[in-house]
Structure 1
């Protein structure tokens, strides 16, 4: 019994010691937090006193100068002095400034009360989340929180103005630098090998980036955006890039003239010139990026004209070249409330006619192929026939009469006899013929288009119509996922069904011979025939994309997104190795150093370990119930760190080459969610950043202990560098940043450069180390959304970047800068004049995409029988680096339709005086598998 009592006393003593240690750590953090707050309050108080003194001097001066005219009120004088001294911010807040301001202030003010209650209180993103309610009632807590937040908002506003342009400050001893983020000081200790900080210089890196490959296609909310060109390339777009993909040579070229999302595309009748329209955007300084149309040459990739700057409001919804006059004119629909229809002489950049279309959505616009004065538009519950004469446009509305009026008229095409064919949301095709007789009263004017025939085409919407060269017609359906071939009499001849997992049909275009190209709502581009079926040529993610990791020694990288897909890509063959569907939204990932396993963190606090070869599930664990923002293996692969939005870093021991995980400990001390972390080469220390601009260090072997004296870690040579705050990288932050502008950062393996992903659609390349403020960088545009992540491949030959809402993956090649071609300007963004002309494409033997008689047939890995409802429990289709037939066609008819080959059109030289935009040419892979 005595032994039991002694053991119990020992347990109680150990628990007490642990509790005391936690309380001490909490008190130390509180003291540190209060020191920072005192510094901020001192700066704010000094600024207020300065302003008061200045306002009094201004009031006195004004009183003396206007003694005969009356007195200037002190309030007015104070207001004037505040404005004169720059209290009004000249920088427009970013799209997250207001939320971030509230979040930062609330975190700061709730820290002290949370610290008093110990580590049972966790501080998150903008609200106090206490696990215990024994200290104060909920009402009292809310009142205190509101009062503290109101006071702190006022203080933060003053501090923000006072420190808006405050440069980093070096200590008198020269041992640390203090930078300011939204008025909050961030201390970074200078490494011992820096003898004199004043001698530190940061220049442009000698390396540059060149866009090599774009993964993905925008089909989810666009239509009629895939075409085949005489060059043998299919043209489509994603983000702000228009891609020209030669699927036989496996090469890509890129038109990079746009500054924001490309939304629509039209091909000139000569099949050489292309028109693409973009939406409106905003740059990092708050300046608007105006929507416009760019007409460019698909052979030279040179811009011929830029149309509509300052004319369009929200963006270009749809556009079309004229046909009867050889493409002289261009019709454009603006996505504004009135959906303005404009007609342009695009070669002269002159707007000829403009008129309000409708307040309803407009989905398509087309010129009549034989009647140069007729334009047709369609959309929500309408079809309009426009007569264009000079500068005027006259509208005639299509009357549905006895036929059911559809919710949407989705698409239109022209028959050989001049009739107009429309497809609608009811699965019906209607033929509109011009009336030549006097109509009955109330049935429309003479010569109006009237419905002459109705055809039931699909179960669900008819999304696209494609007129073939031989006069037959292709239609693409929604609900039934069918592509139907119609003969000259509009009788169904053949059909083929695309499996549900590829989505509905968004675009259909005629390819080489009997081939057709298909774009789907789940961002696939398929190629094939009715006889041989279809195979995937392009695929990508369908929802916001954040997770990215490169293989430690192979040319592979992995992405994961909110669409729950995990994709392993081959960076040499530019294809998908495998894909797997998770139960949760993926957010972060990292490979085990052995390359055998990859860990993936999700939005729910759950994380998975997958076999990198077979994609089989190896392990699954859950840490908290909030988003996991970062997951990273130690250098030797024996430890795994998981950073969460619950403010903790969870540690696991790893064995069996990443197949077995055991909870080791937890790093407690951050006052906000974890954003980034890095390991030391000896696996003993971790550096981490949080959403509250903290830089903390952790001693892992000694119980994941917080290192209070941060100067002890200044000379650690970190194995990786992904933290966005630290001495070696603080120069990457732009002036006036709110602390959320940089989403990801990574140092190259050779420690020469830093790649950075920001909120303004840019990828940056800095020199490493980057320890001077306002460091110069090369910057590149291709994404149209916030760039969420970047990573170098294992040999630093390439950089991969991911877009957020644009769902794109961009692969960049690192190239050495040629001194004679390098401009003095550090910017390589699109609007600033540095242009890359496309290199001539290298002609190589075509990589066979379907089995030839002399080759053994490749066993299809995805020949599913499509269920009536999409099966989300199965993995999405993966097209490996080889041939894959995905659709098994029905038996061919006895007399299949034969299509002729498309002849190449002569090259059209660019107009004089026009400069080519950014463009890239991608050589084929060195070897074909």
Structure 2
């Protein structure tokens, strides 16, 4: 171990009683187990990081609900898209992913160079002005190496949209800043040199596109805005589209070009307009190609493919006569936001953050289902590679970590706040946001029991090691204990543990099931007897208790995971592996941190694993510790990590 050093917030050790004391908005006293105490325990020692590491293996997520034009075919036969802070290069044939993970916050935009290999992605501005500044990264989809980084200090809020030029071989990159007053800039990206910049409008810009007939022409589109730009002598000259007798749409939602280079646009009314090259006149209008907004237009086989809010994907000739083919995307998956063509196959990203594959002739199958809301609930199967995730939108999904396939999904009647398997995997208990909890048969997904405790979310659900008891931690500050019977289909109340003055964050059963320890939102650690739900007030008597799980952030085993100067709300979860000597935390900065299991020293070194772009909410190791699942809150993505022994 390395030498001691001081910590910015006070940590002290009362050797006589064997207590560690530190501050987390309030004093926290933790009793040291006898064996560690007698071994000459010193809380200020520093440990090295673990030899194990986490390798990103698969991401169940796509950002289609709020982003556009972000599924693109590559020359390699793969497609590229993004979710959270990761650019994903996806091989459809073998369902594998490769990752560009050099961004530090949400990716908002994507463009692919005419070479079909070089990719540009733009991110939002994060909390740290220097580390998380909004900027553009240009990278290779083959090597996943960063080629260029620019825009730091130039982009105010986020890179809303991107486009490479076409006719000059892709030497220019157009960038739109999602500022209060959006700005368009054009860059010689290989030199990281800004050529020109101009204010767009006061409303959001949804897309930017280079003309296919001239590098000097750029089109931006969005709310109350369709602008044709000309790049002349280092300046951008603006011309607002003239609709003439045609009704001006509120949103221009899609832009594409004919083979001859003529601009066509789609709008929120489901209409298509053909334009003169300078935007001064509509040369042709085709109304109602979709019911509602046109989401995407893609040139294809001398004509076009389009998708719309109505959930259809259609095939058209170059004049947008009658559609020659059409398919409806399942409402469960959501309408197609963007798609890429790979031979006879389409890869589709949807507004419900799903990724699909298929064709207009045969329909689509789901590659993975995404979440539309924050994810907080995760559980891994006790003996297989299956795992569960639940989001606040109410979607509960069972996946297989080996095949990456969705095994089943259920839309619950309220937001999913917590979930767990029974010890043998026979049933799943789901804690909901309205105080309801349901027990589902894992084979049939039928509800075999339903309970209700209070009107607040059930924050945590957990069985005792032998499965005889079920504990429910509620946001109403109480823990409810039930006796499980009839093969986990019947539950009888044993009572409620009341005494916390804030909501229940986490709980652990002792290995023999006779005690609970619980953490609350106001940084309390309390202990309970499960036989009668009474509080055990003598914490020192439980200092040598073996705990079946290790999910309480405030306990002796885990006090070293708290960083210096941290706010108590910054850490969202802690999880210990089953057999391997490692522990992980998920925090508000999107970081998954990997520690050695000895996280009871103040200076517990760790490894940082990045991928999430907002608060990471929860994690779970597989039963054999071969993989870890982590959940994102704002990024609504599920990341699967391989545990690597080094």
TM class by smaller structure: over 0.9
In the alignment, does 2:224 pair up with 1:381?
yes
Name the CA distance, whole Å, in 1 between partners of 2:147 and 2:465.
Answer: 52
* Pairing partner for 2:583 from 737, 751, 754: 754
- Three-state SS of the structure 1 residue aligned to 2:603 is coil
Structure 2's unaligned 5+ residue stretches are: 1-5
In the alignment, does 2:124 pair up with 1:317?
no
Deviation track 1:507-563 (CA, whole Å, cap 9, x = no partner) reads 132222x32222211112222222222211232111111000111111111011111
Contact conserved, 1:637 with 1:657, CA < 8 A, in 2?
Answer: no
Give the Å deviation of 1:426. 0.8
The residue aligned with 1:234 is 79
Give the Å deviation of 1:230. 2.2
Deviation track 1:371-411 (CA, whole Å, cap 9, x = no partner) reads 11111111112211111013111111111110001011111
The residue aligned with 1:273 is 118
In the alignment, does 2:298 pair up with 1:466?
yes
The residue aligned with 1:730 is 559
Kindly report which structure 2 residues correspond to 1:19-34, keeping only aligned pairs within 5 A, or say none. none
Name the CA distance, whole Å, in 1 between partners of 2:261 and 2:501.
Answer: 69
Deviation track 1:724-744 (CA, whole Å, cap 9, x = no partner) reads 011111000011122111111
Give the Å deviation of 1:164. 10
Kindly report which structure 2 residues correspond to 1:500-899, keeping only aligned pairs within 5 A, or say none. 500-512=331-343, 514-701=344-531, 703-750=532-579, 752-817=581-646
In the alignment, does 2:418 pair up with 1:418?
no
Kindly report which structure 2 residues correspond to 1:26-105, keeping only aligned pairs within 5 A, or say none. none
- Three-state SS of the structure 2 residue aligned to 1:501 is coil
Contact conserved, 2:506 with 2:518, CA < 8 A, in 1?
Answer: yes
Give the Å deviation of 1:201. 5.5
The residue aligned with 2:284 is 453
The structure in which a higher percent of residues are helix is: 1
In the alignment, does 2:19 pair up with 1:176?
yes
In the alignment, does 2:70 pair up with 1:189?
no
Name the CA distance, whole Å, in 2 between partners of 1:641 and 1:757.
Answer: 23
Contact conserved, 1:733 with 1:774, CA < 8 A, in 2?
Answer: no
Deviation track 1:272-331 (CA, whole Å, cap 9, x = no partner) reads 101111111014xx8661111111111111111011011001000001000010000000
The residue aligned with 1:355 is 198
In the alignment, does 2:329 pair up with 1:498?
yes
Kindly report which structure 2 residues correspond to 1:336-351, keeping only aligned pairs within 5 A, or say none. 336-351=179-194
Name the CA distance, whole Å, in 1 between partners of 2:122 and 2:224.
Answer: 24
Name the CA distance, whole Å, in 2 between partners of 1:633 and 1:516.
Answer: 44
Structure 1 residues 455 and 618: alpha-carbon distance in aligned structure 2, compared to 1, 3 A threshold: same
Name the CA distance, whole Å, in 1 between partners of 2:518 and 2:205.
Answer: 50
Name the CA distance, whole Å, in 2 between partners of 1:759 and 1:616.
Answer: 35
Name the CA distance, whole Å, in 1 between partners of 2:104 and 2:628.
Answer: 21
* Pairing partner for 2:52 from 183, 186, 207: 207
Contact conserved, 2:469 with 2:481, CA < 8 A, in 1?
Answer: yes
Aligned pairs, number: 636
Contact conserved, 2:376 with 2:631, CA < 8 A, in 1?
Answer: yes
Q: TM-score, structure 2 length as denominator? A: 0.96
Name the CA distance, whole Å, in 1 between partners of 2:329 and 2:637.
Answer: 23
Give the Å deviation of 1:216. 1.5
The residue aligned with 2:3 is none
Deviation track 1:628-664 (CA, whole Å, cap 9, x = no partner) reads 1111100000000001111111000001231111101
Structure 1's unaligned 5+ residue stretches are: 1-162, 435-446, 818-929
Name the CA distance, whole Å, in 2 between partners of 1:769 and 1:740.
Answer: 22
Name the CA distance, whole Å, in 1 between partners of 2:46 and 2:328.
Answer: 62
CA RMSD for the aligned pairs?
Answer: 1.5
Structure 1 residues 230 and 638: alpha-carbon distance in aligned structure 2, compared to 1, 3 A threshold: same
- Which stretch shifts more, 563-572 or 483-492? 483-492
Deviation track 1:97-139 (CA, whole Å, cap 9, x = no partner) reads xxxxxxxxxxxxxxxxxxxxxxxxxxxxxxxxxxxxxxxxxxx
Contact conserved, 1:344 with 1:351, CA < 8 A, in 2?
Answer: yes
Give the Å deviation of 1:475. 1.1
Name the CA distance, whole Å, in 2 between partners of 1:526 and 1:448.
Answer: 35
Name the CA distance, whole Å, in 1 between partners of 2:243 and 2:489.
Answer: 65
The residue aligned with 2:144 is 301
Contact conserved, 2:435 with 2:458, CA < 8 A, in 1?
Answer: yes
Give the Å deviation of 1:803. 0.3
Contact conserved, 1:280 with 1:288, CA < 8 A, in 2?
Answer: no
Contact conserved, 1:800 with 1:812, CA < 8 A, in 2?
Answer: yes
- Three-state SS of the structure 2 residue aligned to 1:402 is coil
- Three-state SS of the structure 2 residue aligned to 1:712 is helix
- Three-state SS of the structure 1 residue aligned to 2:420 is strand
The residue aligned with 1:198 is 42
- Three-state SS of the structure 2 residue aligned to 1:728 is helix
Give the Å deviation of 1:691. 1.0
